[in-house]
Amino acid sequence: MTTAVAQAPQITGRPVPGAEKEVLSQLKGAFGSKLKTAKVVRDRLVEIVIDRSDLIPVCTFLKNSLGFEHLSCVTAVDWKDHFESIYHIENYATGCMVQVNAQIPYDDPKIASLTGLWHAADFLEREMWDLMGVEYTGHPNLTRILLPEDFRFHPLRKDFAQEVDRQYITRRKLRGGK
């Protein structure tokens, strides 16, 4: 699994212009209607929105067929009515980044783990489970990483107690003052 990147193209350290359009058309060709949204945001950035059930096929395709070898970041977002698990995956040969937004229903915060594809997902998913409470099924060691082990909450959720008052200067400004 770790060493299966033998066929990777040469990493020259320079961006390849137009790579994002190529990636987008490949993704559209392979998955078609499964992509809820697919667009080029800016140079070297493609954004796709999928359902959580398509995560593993999409990511496997990205890694094994398109050469996206580097899982940069895993973000979980609490949208109050649903969760979103966002993956930033990068291709070192072209400098192109794909942002995969996988949607998760609020009452069942579970999504497949990517540790089988990228070992980098190990710590990143643990952190997101720790702070946001999204369960990554199939993760070998889904335990608290930043917070104490006996902590009972997932603090980045929007319903977790938070310092709601802004700093007073801004509050005054918001009420129409200067």
Partner 1 sequence: MPEFWINMGPQHPMTHGLWNMKVKVDGETVTDAKPEIGYLHRGYEKIMEVREFQKNVVLTDRLCYVSSITWSHAYCLAVEKMMGIETPERGQWIRVVSLELQRIASHLMWLAAYGPDLGLLTGLLWALRERELFLDLIQLMSGARMNQNYPRVGGVRNDLPENFEAMCRRSIEHFLKKVDNEYQRVFQESKVFRMRTEGVGRISAADAINWGVTGPNLRACGVNVDLRRLDPYETYEQIDFEPQVWHDGGAGDSYARFICRFNELRESCQIILQALEKMPKSGAYRVKAPRRAEGEGYAKTEDSRGEALFYVIGDGDDRPYRVKIRSPVFCTMAATPLMLRGNKLADSVAILGSVDVCVGEMDK
The footprint of partner 1 (CB under 8 A) covers 1-3, 5, 11-15, 42, 44-45, 69-73, 75, 77-78, 86, 88, 92, 95, 97, 99, 118-120, 122-124, 127, 131, 144-148, 155-156, 160, 162-164, 166-167, 170, 174
Q: Are 35 and 98 in contact (CB under 8 A)?
A: no
User: In the bound complex, what is the minimum distance in angstroms from residue 68's beta carbon to partner 1?
Assistant: 11
User: In the bound complex, what is the minimum distance in angstroms from residue 131's beta carbon to partner 1?
Assistant: 7
Where do the H-state alpha helices sit in 17-89? 19-31, 55-64
Residue among 18 and 53 whose Cβ is closer to partner 1: 18
CA distance 11 to 13: 6
CA distance 19 to 59: 18
User: In the bound complex, what is the minimum distance in angstroms from residue 126's beta carbon to partner 1?
Assistant: 9
Q: Are 56 and 112 in contact (CB under 8 A)?
A: yes
Residue among 60 and 162 whose Cβ is closer to partner 1: 162
Residue 85 C-alpha from the chain's centroid:
5
Burial 64-86, CB ≥16 within 10 A → b, else e: eebbbbebeebebbbeeeebbbb
Residue among 24 and 71 whose Cβ is closer to partner 1: 71
User: In the bound complex, what is the minimum distance in angstroms from residue 73's beta carbon to partner 1?
Assistant: 4
> Nearest to residue 67, comparing CAs of 59, 77, 57?
59
Residue among 53 and 123 whose Cβ is closer to partner 1: 123
Residue among 33 and 80 whose Cβ is closer to partner 1: 80
User: In the bound complex, what is the minimum distance in angstroms from residue 23's beta carbon to partner 1?
Assistant: 14
